[in-house]
Amino acid sequence: MIDIEEYSVLPTYVLIKPAPEREQSEGGIYLSDLIERRQVYGEIVQVGDGVTEVEEGDWVLYRRWEGVHISIDAGTLREESCYMLCRTDAIQAIVNNSVLEPLGKWLAVNPIDDRVKETPSGILIAEIGYLNALEYDGTLTSIRQDEVEPPTPLNKGTVASVGPDCREVAVGDKVLCEEWAGTEIDLAGVTYLMVTEDQVVGVLAP
């Protein structure tokens, strides 16, 4: 069993209390239905020596599947007893009073969803369609595409805010990011895709 009160965080690490797994978090962030159950938002309760980017009491976004989950009650995964220990470079942004402030080389992108096309005749073609599958008996059946492969993720958008270490992209740039890169969140009714500058593969013409 770990006593959080006596736990000492090492330099460059922070201890985070994840927000409860609710539809809406304490700071007004709505988690996308498409993300995994593992939380990506919480309050910093302890910082290691030398940490200057964040401080105790900050609400932050952090990279999913990063760090180590620890519990003050051995063998339990109850929300009230779980904490997350990670390095500061896994923290994507500070979110205080619904204001998003990316850290380091992280940036917030307002995604552009152009995955639904319209033909010249006005017919909408959705990305999630149907595939024909040949059965063993020779018959053809239709299968929803999203049942055999996931839909293409959002990876294009306009940069809304950047961290202090970003050099290649700026607010207002229209960018193309690596597929499956980043974390999609909703903050105060606005959708953001959190990615690093290294995950931007190009700046598109305005």
Mean pLDDT over the full length of the chain: 76
Convert the pLDDT of each residue in 12-65 to its tens digit: 899 998 887 554 454 555 554 433 445 688 899 999 998 999 999 999 998 877
Q: Reply yes or no on whether the pLDDT at 69 is more than 50.
A: yes
- Which residues on adjacent β-strands are paired with residue 17? 43
Residue type, position 190, single letter: V
Residue with tokens 């053809």: 140
pLDDT confidence of residue 85: 87
DSSP codes of every residue in 67-90: SEEEESSTT---GGGEEEEEEGGG
pTM, entire model: 0.69
| Torsion angle defined by CA atoms of residues 151, 157, 163 and 167, in that order, rounded to the nearest 10 degrees | 110
Could you give the CA distance from residue 70 to residue 85 in angstroms, rounded to a whole number? 7
Please tell me which residue, 196 or 188, carries the higher pLDDT value.
196
Task: Report helix, strand or coil for 199.
Answer: helix
* Domains (range + CATH), the chain: 4-112+152-204 (2.30.33.40), 117-148 (no CATH)
Could you give the CA distance from residue 36 to residue 122 in angstroms, rounded to a whole number? 36
Q: Say which residues have a Cβ less than 8 Å from residue 135's Cβ, sequence separation at least 6.
A: 141
* Mean pLDDT calculated for residue range 123-132: 51
Is 7 buried (19+), middle (13-18) or exposed (0-12) by CB count in 10 A?
Answer: middle
